[in-house]
């Protein structure tokens, strides 16, 4: 789990970046990515 200086979790953002980079979700626009989830 990753945290910023405020103690908020950054894991969801890192997870989404990983999925987009590895073509598990569309990475052309936010609407397509949201619909795939």
Q: Compute the distance between CA of residue 23 and CA of residue 3 in angstroms, rounded to an integer.
A: 25
Buried b (16+ CB within 10 A) or exposed e, 19-31: beeeeebeeeeee
SS3 content of the chain, % helix, strand, coil (to 5): 50, 5, 45
Question: Is the predicted pLDDT of residue 27 greater than 80, yes or no?
Answer: no
Look at residue 18 and tell me whether its pLDDT is greater than 80: yes
Q: pTM of the entire structure?
A: 0.54
4 in Cβ contact with 16 (< 8 Å): no
Look up residue 6 and give its DSSP letter. Answer: T
pLDDT grade, residue 23 (50/70/90)? Answer: confident
């Amino acid at each position: 789990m990753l945290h910023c200086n405020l103690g908020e979790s950054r894991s969801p953002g890192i997870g989404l970046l990983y999925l987009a980079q590895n073509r598990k979700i569309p990475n052309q626009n936010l609407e397509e990515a949201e619909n795939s989830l």
